Structure 1
């Protein structure tokens, strides 16, 4: 709404990077330490599907950036935006199809996985629900409203904080904000990994990244379109390359369906490299400044 397109793009990108590298890395690391004498396993099928969706998101984000930086647009400044809006609609269709695939047409695959996981445990040791469905919905509604109020203060404070701390806005948007924002995912992913429930851990970490890349980002483009704001999928080459490499690293880490503390350590170290990169990174000449020009 305030035309701070780059802050929106970088904070969403940071959430993806944080979930895939830091959250998943810490979960693998702590789970591997707690269950040091055994190999933790998870189902590969959902991980492969999520990796495919993440690569599709990279494709949707990559082409507008390449189109912009190669100056090969048919209508300069317009083709890039039009491509972003078209790709966003396609990505939303793909995400809706993924939900139908997961919850309806292939629901038995996921439910059988849960039954196998529960079969290894004592059936008498069932966890009690701490919240009813409507209590959970109520708390989500209250917290969502509260976060939306805090977001208004955040938008007003981020540029001043960058100047006073002498820290790039990109570092605050991509690294600091997502670490705080993903605190709930971080805690729950580690907790489930320590309980040897890695399928839920991957659902929290990689599933959240899939939701952001295939739903939240294209949805923001569509909302910006409705508001007359030039929100697009051109995340600049530096950010797009970072996302592409991150997706590849996580896809390779999860392809064998096992996890250990060393894999988690590698993901955490990769995130430190990403954080250091954004600390010394400065946006190129801003075509999308605070006025949305």
Structure 2
């Protein structure tokens, strides 16, 4: 009995209590694993949905928040027409329309990224991507040996910014604000000085060429252009360093500097997308502009013949209007908001970037890849630039603007456009080696 009881107790102790916890632990572990799998599945599905929702929201903000995005389908249409037909005029026209919203969105993505990087890196980003469209088109034109297209498109960007963009900003700002608008005169004078330095860099090779006073015929002009380009790049680097260190508030509207802070933050802006989204959109938009730029450059000559328009007019007038779409809209908006210093920073600053950075940069790149691009923009183009810089410098010297000044600048641009429409460039047939 004792042994039986002991055995029973032992069985109850050794068997039952041990087996029951084992069974419960097994069922518990299975249910726990099932719960873990279900939680992982739910979190994975939720993560995928969250990523998809973020992507869709970012696309909506990037392309559905601005009416100019309605022109984006013209880009794929240009590629389709290029592969299915031989109508080069239509390919050029559709590529031109397709690049306009991409250039505007590229400026928007740069501004979004500048919110996260601060003023120093933001200024460098604006200097790099502000004229990215013009640089991309120039690189493709240089790749195809179309050196005159490179020169004339960059020249046209300067003329467009200084006359058309600034003129429209002055005009629209003067209409909304009938009284004279004021801006920081010292910043305008400094920019005008840099533009005159750029004119000097372009003028001397042209004078050397047309006076036939080269020490080594055919070589001194190119050597002088490359040396001057290196000096201009160094000067522009010094200008950027000076602006970012000594003149951090150089584009703060003068009205805000003189008036006390009233606590209103209606004009304060915040980023629409995250930092990583900004970087991704910069990459995507730059790639898209590069693709369309190749189609655009490849059809310039045939489009000129098909539409009976001089290549000089296409390069100086049409291409820069596409590249300056973002600057044009931004300058007008800031002028209407009575922030004329920012409008000047957009228009004159962009012209300074092209003249002191983009043009010398293209000369140096041509030097590296074996393309003899020089600073001799020919007499007609150099004279046009010189007169434009003088006119704008006189307009800016008193530190005020009104709608009539803007109207005069726009009329000056119309005269320049008409001049290039009837101008035949004798060097255009020598573009390709």
TM-score range, shorter-chain basis? Answer: over 0.9
Aligned residue for 1:78? 219
C-alpha change, 1:18 and 1:40, in structure 2 (3 Å) is same
Given candidates 381, 385, 397, the residue that maps to 1:239 is: 381
Is 2:402 the counterpart of 1:260?
A: yes
- The 10-residue stretch of structure 1 (133-142 or 245-254) with the greater mean CA deviation from structure 2: 133-142
Aligned residue for 2:183? 42
Aligned residue for 1:105? 246
Q: Which has the higher helix share?
A: 2
TM-score calculated relative to the size of structure 2: 0.64
How many residue pairs match? The answer is 290
Given candidates 331, 334, 342, the residue that maps to 1:200 is: 342
- The 10-residue stretch of structure 1 (177-186 or 23-32) with the greater mean CA deviation from structure 2: 177-186
Aligned residue for 1:93? 234
Aligned residue for 1:123? 264
C-alpha change, 1:259 and 1:137, in structure 2 (3 Å) is farther
Q: CA deviation at 1:181?
A: 1.6
Is 2:206 the counterpart of 1:51?
A: no
Structure 2 distance, partners of 1:34, 1:194, is 6
- Structure 2: runs of 5+ lacking an equivalent: 1-142
C-alpha change, 1:134 and 1:39, in structure 2 (3 Å) is farther
Q: CA deviation at 1:256?
A: 0.8
SS at structure 1 position matched to 2:299: helix
Is 2:326 the counterpart of 1:154?
A: no
TM-score calculated relative to the size of structure 1: 0.94
SS at structure 1 position matched to 2:426: coil
Q: CA deviation at 1:107?
A: 3.0
Pick 1 or 2: higher relative contact order, CA cutoff 8 A, min separation 6: 1
* CA-based RMSD: 1.9
- Structure 1: runs of 5+ lacking an equivalent: none
Q: Which residues in structure 2 correspond to 1:156-235 (within 5 Å)?
A: 156-235=298-377
